[in-house]
Amino acid sequence: MLKDVMTAVENGKFKEIESLVKSALDAGETPESILDSMIETMGIVGDRFQRNEVFIPEMLIAAKTMQKAVGVLSPLLVGAGVGAKGKLIIGTVCGDHHDIGKNLVALMMESAGFEVIDLGVDVSPEKYVETLKANPDCKIVGLSALLTTTMEAMEATVKAITEAGFRNSVKIMVGGAPITPEFAEKIGADAYASDAGSAARKATEIISAA
Ligand code: B1M
């Protein structure tokens, strides 16, 4: 069942994906295992793109297919108590349009009890600062980047938040495929997480410690 879901995502079977995910759930697969298998598949698609075996349209349709599948899984992943842990602003940094990972992190944060303000993709440092001004009770800002070329924008965002005077009132968490704990430390972020599940755990940890 998982193999069918993976093949459908890899080949961009947009129309079939919902029923395949439902069949996998009916067969006893957990939402988490289905999600993990699709994340693995996107890695495979990325490797094929790098080897010039697939191109942007194929990568895009695989992404859209995964997003449709996530739509089926979302209600099963979101838990009770949404918002109880406070506000969290999240977005993909300026110049970067990848949002599947960021959306999963947002979903897991919501499921962990945060009220999530999702700014979407290609978010400028100014937009983060503006949103912080409108939400001074925000506890965490999450920055996602998938391109090595947009890591710089992540650094610029941390700098803008610091210069706007919010550095003592919010924690900044960063993540995304090219991001490392060393880079997070170098740019002055408070936390790094490698995946959506650990991002939610880490977020809970840092607000409890604050
Ligand atoms: Co893009 N792309 N892409 N792409 N794309 C990558 C990232 C790439 C690695 C593919 C490759 O060459 N192997 C490569 C980057 C190379 C590099 O920078 N070193 C690449 C490239 C080059 C590009 C373009 C430049 C291609 C071009 O135009 N020539 C272009 C850039 C567009 C732009 O952003 N300006 C581009 C475009 C696209 C599409 C639009 C076609 C599509 C995105 C669609 C969308 O997101 N709506 C796309 C896709 C799908 C990919 C791959 C195949 C898959 C990404 C993905 O969704 N993964 C990707 C290859 C890969 O990642 N191996 C690739 C699944 C997702 C669940 O994982 O996003 O890593 P991920 O998120 C994880 C963790 O990273 C972490 O948790 C998530 C869940 O567990 N995480 C956080 C993420 N954010 C976090 C934040 C946190 C904490 C954890 O705290 C706040």
* CA–CA distance, 209 with 204 (Å, rounded to integer): 9
Query: Which regions in the chain score pLDDT beneath 50?
Result: none
pLDDT at 164: 97
SS3 82: coil
* CA–CA distance, 128 with 141 (Å, rounded to integer): 8
* CA–CA distance, 2 with 27 (Å, rounded to integer): 10
Of 137, 100, 134, the closest CA to residue 120 belongs to 100
Pocket test for ligand 1, best of 54, 55, 68, 98 (most atoms within 8 A of CB): 98
Nearest-atom number in ligand 1 for the CA of 95 is 35
Nearest-atom number in ligand 1 for the CA of 101 is 72
Which residue CA neighbors atom 43 of ligand 1 most closely? 98
pLDDT at 82: 63
Q: Is the CB of residue 172 below 6 angstroms from any atom belonging to ligand 1?
A: no
Alpha helices, DSSP H, located in the chain: 2-10, 14-26, 31-50, 56-77, 100-111, 125-134, 151-163, 181-186, 196-209
Which residue CA neighbors atom 53 of ligand 1 most closely? 46
Q: Is the CB of residue 197 below 6 angstroms from any atom belonging to ligand 1?
A: no
pLDDT at 55: 93
pLDDT at 177: 97
Reported pTM: 0.93
